[in-house]
């Protein structure tokens, strides 16, 4: 580390999530796996317990991302969310206590938001905020009430459009069909 300003534009860690093949189980509680953490430098080197890197490694990682304008690393894994500053764990949210032991199956991030899909199809939105008094991070949960009459959530995306919002009239007209008369393969 030569304290070059350009170093701020590179990631410090590479996380590789592994799931054991042929674990012999299909139940949610028996999924086995791990996360390997590599530190980026002149070479990619696997970190060890002695390196004081506090990523979750006891199971697979669903998503790892920078948040808080790159101040924090947020790691999502089936059992929870870990927020790190550098390699130090600042806090963790356990889904066992927050979401009745439902595991996280998918995650999406658009700073400062985290969108999580739980195994029952419910969707949870968290917002990363900084405490005004301590400047420490916290995740604020926003309840999303999605209608269940059509089913449960399967996929989602957080998206920011660069296109300005436009007002759309409440009446819509059907476009004339533009389907070709002949299809050639």
Q: Give the separation between CA 141 and CA 96, rounded to whole angstroms.
A: 15
Mean pLDDT of the chain: 79
In this prediction, residue 165 carries a pLDDT of: 61
pLDDT at 1 (0 to 100): 41
Overall residue count recorded for the chain in this entry: 185
| β partners of residue 81 | 76, 93
User: In which band, very low, low, confident or very high, does the pLDDT at 158 lie, cut at 50, 70 and 90?
Assistant: confident
Of residues 146 and 107, the one with the higher pLDDT is 107
pLDDT of residue 184: 45
**pTM given for the model:** 0.75
Residues 69, 156: Cα–Cα separation, whole Å? 23
How many Å from the N-terminal Cα to the C-terminal Cα in the chain?
A: 57
- Name the nearest CA neighbour of 10 among 83, 66, 89: 66
Q: How far apart are CA 99 and CA 7, in angstroms?
A: 38
Q: Is residue 102 very low, low, confident or very high in pLDDT (cuts 50, 70, 90)?
A: confident
Tokens 């002949």 belong to: 182
Predicted confidence band of residue 170 (pLDDT cuts 50, 70, 90): very low
- The Cα–Cα gap between 103 and 37 comes to 22
- Pick the residue with more confidence: 28 or 132? 132
Residues 6+ apart with CB under 8 A from 134: none
Q: Between 10 and 158, name the one with better pLDDT.
A: 158
Structural tokens at position 142: 């926003």
CB 107 within 8 A of CB 101: no
**What pLDDT sits at residue 145?**
73
Those residues whose C-beta lies under 8 Å from the C-beta of residue 110, and which sit 6 or more positions away, are 158, 159, 160
For residue 37, cis peptide bond before it (omega within 30 degrees of 0): no
């Amino acid at each position: 580390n030569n304290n070059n300003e350009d170093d701020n534009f590179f990631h410090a860690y590479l996380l590789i999530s592994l799931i054991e093949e042929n674990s012999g189980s299909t139940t949610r509680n028996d999924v086995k796996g791990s996360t390997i953490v590599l530190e980026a430098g002149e070479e990619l080197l696997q970190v060890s317990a002695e390196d004081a890197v506090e990523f979750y490694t006891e199971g697979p990682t669903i998503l790892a991302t920078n948040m808080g304008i790159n101040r924090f690393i947020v790691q999502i894994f089936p059992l929870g969310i870990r927020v790190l500053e550098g390699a130090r764990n600042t806090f963790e949210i356990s889904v066992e206590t927050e979401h009745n032991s439902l595991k996280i199956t998918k995650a999406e991030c658009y700073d400062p938001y985290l969108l999580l899909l739980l195994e029952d199809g419910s969707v949870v939105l968290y917002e990363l905020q900084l405490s005004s008094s301590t400047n420490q991070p916290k995740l604020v949960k926003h309840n999303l009430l999605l209608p269940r009459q059509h089913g449960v959530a399967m996929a989602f995306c957080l998206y920011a459009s660069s296109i300005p919002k436009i007002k759309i009239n409440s009446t819509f007209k059907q476009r004339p069909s533009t389907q070709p008369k002949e299809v050639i393969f």
